[in-house]
């Protein structure tokens, strides 16, 4: 009975239960990856993300070939065509069982359910694992048996469940006779160069070791300073499964014999970030309407957002007149990545200062982020817009100038990304307009909105919904 691995957002061998479970017989399994380019496009996948996936697929195909496993990559435009394509693949290769790692957004769940139905007609088993999460949906429940709607109690229970698991030994697979990697088809989508992010499983394992060995102790403080390289830089690899959360967590074990308790502040804060990642995936699983562009707090879907295309475009272009916002947006469109603190600041500004629908910002981020993960991006935007679970209270409106002063005190990050402000003295860098007016040349844009006015406008609008 031959087995197969259907790769999706799990482009790795190490700590991949789908791969591990398929590699127990004498005959090597086959592997398949479907490039659903029309669905990817409709899901707003960024060109730099597509390029990153392509490069990691090339590495994975080579790594698997060395283990004796052939990875085929097929172009199948839409999710709806996958069930038939996988059935044909199984028939051609006499596959009796296909292993996958579950995905939790609605379209992915529907694709997998349809695939399971089609394969079962041929007596082919679709075996689902939870290799994309440390704790699968349903393992973390309230005392009433419900899913958690708030992060803090989820995190507490999630850690308790985590403490009952063991990740001391990685899931290694047996090797078969080496095969030749056939190469990938031509990519049907536009790609943006992602070479600033190294590709392949071995590269990311080195990044993990570097971060845990040298940077995690300072993570709690450094992660909020965009001018410093204080984050793990692993988000894109986690999003595509080039590294598994099990591998990431195993690297933290050595810091505490009571793991996941007893960690120092830096390691504990990073573990909390991994918990946030899982929390949003659990929500996707339990609340399908989040996949339909709806708010978790359903009453907030009646908010009257401003239809201001010019304001939205200025935000996209980094021409708001607020230096810290503009720096973040220019970093995003230039590099395909943005520091997490800036993701919060720019999102808060779009929704609460400009009163633009958060869904427009959510889509724009996905169209540009190399680490675009639908559950995490959706959760972050709903949090910033005060419409989601665990949302920042609606009356808490970030003051972008104060955020700038606090997290980029010397203006180093601003000067890197906003060319027009390179010569502005630090005293004026966070609000440079009065200084710039005295200069002979000034090509920086005026502020597009007055924050105090915008704040009151948002609060009035939101109160009408909350009190309505």
φ/ψ of residue 100, rounded to 5: -135, 160
Residue 381 annotated among the catalytic residues of the structure: yes
Count Cα atoms within 13 angstroms, Cβ side, for 34: 25
Residue 340 annotated among the catalytic residues of the structure: yes
Structure tokens at 453: 């006015």
Residue 6 annotated among the catalytic residues of the structure: no
CA distance 302 to 70: 51
Q: Are 291 and 297 in contact (CB under 8 A)?
A: no
Residue 276 annotated among the catalytic residues of the structure: yes
Annotated binding site for FAD: 219, 231-235, 270, 273-280
256: left (phi over 0), alpha (psi -120 to 50) or beta: beta
Of 38, 58, 228, 276, the active-site residue reads: 276
Annotated binding site: 219, 231-235, 270, 273-280
Of 273, 294, 405, 420, the active-site residue reads: 273
Angle between helices 323-335 and 340-348 (to 10 degrees): 120
SS (H, E, C) the chain: CEEEEEECCCCCCCCCHHHHHHCCCCCCCEEEEEECHHHHHHCCCCHHHHHHHHHHHHHHHHHHHHCCCEEEEEECCCHHHHHHHHHHHHHHHCEEEEEEECCCCHHHHHHHHHHHHHHHCCCCEEEEECCCCCCCCCCCCCCCCCCCCCHHHHHHHHHHHHHCCCCCCCCCCCCCCCCCCCCCCCCCCCCCCCCCCCCCHHHHHHHHHHHHHHCHHHHHHHCCCCCCCCCCCCHHHHHCCCCCHHHHHHHHHCCCCCCCCCCCHHHHHHHHHHHHHHHHHHHHHHCHHHHHCCCCCHHHHHCCCCCCHHHHHHHHHCCCCCHHHHHHHHHHHHHCCCCHHHHHHHHHHHHHHCCCCHHHHHHHHHCCCCCCCHHHHHHHHHHHHCCCCCCCCCCCCCCHHHHHHHHCCCCHHHHHHCHHHCCCCHHHCCCCHHHHHCCCCCCCCCCCCCHHHHHHHHHHHHHHHHCC
Residue 431 annotated among the catalytic residues of the structure: no
Of 40, 45, 337, 358, the active-site residue reads: 358
Q: Could you list the active site residues? A: 273, 276, 305, 340, 358, 381
């Amino acid at each position: 009975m031959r087995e197969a691995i259907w790769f999706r957002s799990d482009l790795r061998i190490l700590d991949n239960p789908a791969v591990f479970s398929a590699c127990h017989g004498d005959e090597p399994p086959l592997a398949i990856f479907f490039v659903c380019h029309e669905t990817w496009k409709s899901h707003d996948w960024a060109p730099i993300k597509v390029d990153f996936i392509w490069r990691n697929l090339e590495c994975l195909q080579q790594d698997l070939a060395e283990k004796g496993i052939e990875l085929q990559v097929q172009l199948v435009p839409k999710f709806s065509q996958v069930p038939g394509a996988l059935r044909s693949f199984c028939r051609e290769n006499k596959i009796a069982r296909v292993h996958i790692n579950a995905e939790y957004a609605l379209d992915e769940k529907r694709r997998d359910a349809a695939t399971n139905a089609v394969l079962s007609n041929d007596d082919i088993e679709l075996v689902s694992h939870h290799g994309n999460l440390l704790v699968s949906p349903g393992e973390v429940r309230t005392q009433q048996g419900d899913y958690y709607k708030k992060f803090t109690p989820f995190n507490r229970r999630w850690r308790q469940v985590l403490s009952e698991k063991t990740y001391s030994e990685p899931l290694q697979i047996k090797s078969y006779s080496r095969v030749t990697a056939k190469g990938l088809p031509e990519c049907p989508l536009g790609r943006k160069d992602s070479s600033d992010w190294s590709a392949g499983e071995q590269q990311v394992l080195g990044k993990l070791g570097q971060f845990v060995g040298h940077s995690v102790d300072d993570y709690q403080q450094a992660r909020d300073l965009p001018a410093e390289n204080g984050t793990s830089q692993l988000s894109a690899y986690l999003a595509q499964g080039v590294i598994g959360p099990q591998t990431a967590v195993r690297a933290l074990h050595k810091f505490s014999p009571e793991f996941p308790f007893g960690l120092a502040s830096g390691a504990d804060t990073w573990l909390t970030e991994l918990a946030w990642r899982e929390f949003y995936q659990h929500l996707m699983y339990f609340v399908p309407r989040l996949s339909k562009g709806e708010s978790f707090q359903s009453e907030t879907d009646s908010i009257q957002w401003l239809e201001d295309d010019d304001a939205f475009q200025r935000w996209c272009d980094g021409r708001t007149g607020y230096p810290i916002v503009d720096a973040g947006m220019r970093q995003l469109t230039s590099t395909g990545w943005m520091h997490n603190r800036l993701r919060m600041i720019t999102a808060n500004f779009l929704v609460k200062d400009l009163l633009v629908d958060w869904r427009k910002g959510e889509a724009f981020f996905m169209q540009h982020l190399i680490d675009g993960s639908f559950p995490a991006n959706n959760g972050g935007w709903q949090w910033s817009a005060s419409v989601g679970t665990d949302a920042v209270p609606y009356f808490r409106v970030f003051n972008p100038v104060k955020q700038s002063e606090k997290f980029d005190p010397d203006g180093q990050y601003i000067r890197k990304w906003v060319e027009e402000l390179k010569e502005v003295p630090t005293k004026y860098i966070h609000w440079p307009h009065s200084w710039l007016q005295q200069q002979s040349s000034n090509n920086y844009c005026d502020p597009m909105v007055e924050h105090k006015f915008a704040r009151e406008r948002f609060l009035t609008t939101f109160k009408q919904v909350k009190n309505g």
